[in-house]
Amino acid sequence: MLVIRSALFNLCFMTLTPLFSLLVILFRPFGFSAAWFWARMWSQSIFALLRLLCGIRIEIEGREHFPDHPCVVVAKHQSAAETVAMPLLVPPYTWVLKRELFNIPFFGWALALMGTIGIRRGSPREAIKQVMQDGGKRLESGFWVVIFPEGTRSSVGTTGQYQPGGVILAQKAGVGILPMAHNAGALWPKRGFIKKPGTITFRFLPYIPADEVVAARRNDLMQQLQTDIEAHTRELGG
C-alpha cells in the first residue's frame, strides 16, 4: 500500500508542478505578487496531497524568531520537501541555487522569472560574486534570501560541506541570519521513491541580529551555524 500511495503522489507531483509553474509564468507579467500567489498554491497543493496520500503532516516551530525585515535564511538541505515548503514558511524570497535548474521545462523557467539567483557551482569565486551582487539587490528590494549552505542534498544523519556564501552575503548586506533545521529527509528521502508517513518538522532557530552577524568572525559564525543546524536536525531525526 505504501508503494501505491507513493506512486500516486509522485504522479500527482509530476503533473501539478509543471501546471503551477506555467501559471507562475503566465501571471508574472502582472507583478511578483500575482505569480507568488500561484507559487504558494503549488506548495499548499503538494502538501495537501502528501497528507492525503502519504500520511505526511508538517509542523512549523520557531516562528517567534522571525524578524520583521528581510534577512538571510540558512537552511538544512536533505530533501525536496523543504524546497516545496519554502513559500509556505517564509515571506516572499529568492533562492540561491545551481543555474542548471533553469533548464528544467516550466519549473526552471518559472524560477528564473521569479528572480532566483542561479549560480555556476564550478566557479566558486564567480558564484560568491553573483550572490553578493544579486542577493544584495534582492534584500534591498525587501525580499528574503534563502540559501542551502551544503549546496546539495545530504543524506539523513550526514553533514555536507557548509559553504560561506550566506554568511558573506549577510555580512556584506548588513542583515541578520535566520537558521532552519528539519527532518524532511527521514520521510521524503533524498532520491527516495517511498514517502513514509509521519510529521515533517521545520524548526527555525533563534535569529542572529545584523549587528552580531557583522561583528562576528566569518569562520566562527559558519561553525556556529553548522553546529546549531546539525544538532537540531539530529534532534528532530533528520
pTM assigned to the model: 0.94
CATH code that applies to domain 56-236:
3.40.1130.10
Give the separation between CA 68 and CA 65, rounded to whole angstroms: 10
The predicted pLDDT at position 32 comes to 96
User: Could you read off the pLDDT of 195-223 as tens digits, one per residue?
Assistant: 999 999 999 999 999 999 999 999 999 99
Per-domain residue ranges for the chain? Answer: 56-236
Map residue 117 onto helix, strand or coil: strand
Give the separation between CA 32 and CA 25, rounded to whole angstroms: 10
More confident residue, 24 or 127: 24
Average pLDDT over every residue of 94-101? 91
More confident residue, 66 or 127: 66
Give the separation between CA 102 and CA 219, rounded to whole angstroms: 31
Average pLDDT over every residue of 25-35? 97
User: Could you read off the pLDDT of 160-170 as tens digits, one per residue?
Assistant: 999 999 999 99
Indicate left, alpha or beta for 136 from its phi (over 0: left) and psi (-120 to 50: alpha): alpha
Of the listed ranges 19-33, 94-108, 168-182, the least confidently predicted one is 94-108
Map residue 171 onto helix, strand or coil: helix
Residue with cell 560561506: 164
